[in-house]
Amino acid sequence: MRVLFIAACILVLAIAVWVRRVTFFSSFVDRQALSQDLILAAAYDYDYSLLSMQWPKSFCNTGQLECSQVPADFTIHGLWPQKNGRCRARRTSIYDDAMLKGNVSLTNTMNQTWPSLNARKRNEKFWGDEWEKHGTCTNLKQNDYFKRTCDRATWVRRRLLSSLGKKGIRQGTSHHKDVYNKAVESGLNLTPTFQCKRNASKVMLLLEIRFCVDKAGMQFINCSRGWIKRTQCDKVGKIAFP
């Protein structure tokens, strides 16, 4: 019995030592993971991203370039991380066309929602420029950056034109910026920003509607007043929607 008692004590002691080592190792791993997360967050430090949706008929009506196509819906210009209006791109992370083309579904979606309107720039060149200039500011992989951008843009495209139409904003009409803003806020429940540009006839056109997105690129957030800067849209009375 004494031998059994001693053996049991040794077993309990061994288990206690093993549990302590496992707990220490687990804690060490957790600390290491947290440290890596902090390092990653510091390396990709930005406040939010801007999803820029451009109106093709305005883009192609400025007289500055030739368009290859003029879609009848808003298309993506880009998803741009913002830190004091800029980001730190990783110039060593270049666009990988083969990686994108390996995802046929994503490529098809991008051809539809994120086309290059410039006749002198192929889709692949446009996407590559957006990835290298803006996407590399995030901690996302290339295809994840493209997919999250398309997902957010698809949600907007399903609602934006109809929301504008409910406020009387249809092609060929002109309205004050406040009318555009109220249409988006009521239809999408989001506070956007706007970009405008004059055409050759000096008419101010609605060029882009931009939406604020969280750092992960997963959810829309309202653009705070501190993020909204005055643009050409604020310098005129009515803005045309061609």
* pLDDT tens digits along 18-34: 435 434 434 443 444 43
Confidence of residue 229 (pLDDT cuts 50, 70, 90): confident
pLDDT in tens, 195-221: 999 998 999 999 999 999 998 899 999
Of 17-31, 39-53, 63-77, 153-167, the one with minimum mean pLDDT is 17-31
Question: Of the ranges 69-78, 83-92, 209-218, which one carries the lowest mean pLDDT score?
Answer: 83-92
The structural domains of the chain, with segments of one domain joined by +, span 1-43, 46-241
Question: 6-20, 176-190, 200-214 — which is least confidently predicted?
Answer: 6-20
Q: Which CATH class is domain 46-241?
A: alpha beta
pLDDT at 11 over 80: no
Say whether 175 is catalytic. no
pLDDT at 24: 42
Please answer whether residues 180 and 164 qualify as being in contact, where contact means their C-beta atoms are separated by less than 8 angstroms: yes
Per the annotation, the verdict on 77 as an active-site residue is yes
pLDDT at 145: 97
Query: Of 132, 134, 175, 208, which is the active-site residue?
Result: 134
What pLDDT score does 164 carry?
A: 98
Mean pLDDT for all residues in the chain: 85
Long-range CB pairs of 103-111, under 8 A, 24+ apart, other chains included: 103/143, 106/143, 106/146, 106/147, 106/150, 109/150, 109/154, 110/146, 110/150
**Backbone Cα Rg of the chain:** 26
Between the alpha carbon of residue 208 and those of residues 20, 57, 162, 186, 211, the distances in Å are 59, 11, 16, 18, 10
d(CA 146, CA 78): 9
Alpha carbon 207 to its chain centroid, in Å, reads 18
Q: Which residues contact 41 (CB under 8 A, 6 or more apart)?
A: none
Smallest Cα–Cα separation from 212: which of 151, 152, 137, 158? 152
Task: Give, in order, the Cα–Cα distances in Å from 111 to each of 117, 119, 147, 201.
Answer: 11, 14, 12, 31
Phi, psi of 193 (to 5 degrees): -125, 160
Task: Tell me what percent of the residues of the chain surpass a pLDDT of 70.
Answer: 79
Identity (one letter) of the amino acid at 63?
Answer: G
Identify whether the C-beta of residue 182 lies closer than 8 Å to the C-beta of residue 127. no
Lowest mean pLDDT, pick from 54-68, 107-121, 138-152: 54-68
Res 91: pLDDT: 65
Q: What is the pLDDT of residue 83?
A: 80
Residues 57, 171 contacting (CB under 8 angstroms): yes
- Please tell me which residue, 51 or 92, carries the higher pLDDT value: 51
Indicate the pairing of strand 220-221 with strand 173-176: unpaired
pLDDT at 2: 53
pLDDT at 86: 65
186 pLDDT more than 70: yes
Reported pTM = 0.80
Residue-by-residue DSSP string for 67-92: BS---SS-EEEEEEEEBTTB----TT
Assess whether 124 carries a catalytic annotation. no
Evaluate whether 75 touches 53 at the Cβ level (below 8 Å).
Answer: yes
Decide if 97 contacts 110 (C-beta within 8 A): no
Q: Give the helix ranges, DSSP H, for the chain.
A: 2-43, 56-59, 97-101, 104-113, 123-133, 142-157, 160-166, 177-188
Phi-psi region of 76 (alpha: psi -120 to 50; beta: other; left: phi over 0): beta
Which of 45-49, 74-78, 116-120, 209-213 has the least mean pLDDT? Answer: 45-49
The residue annotated as part of the active site, out of 77, 132, 175, 208, is: 77
Residue 139 has a pLDDT of 86
- Quote the pLDDT of residue 36: 44
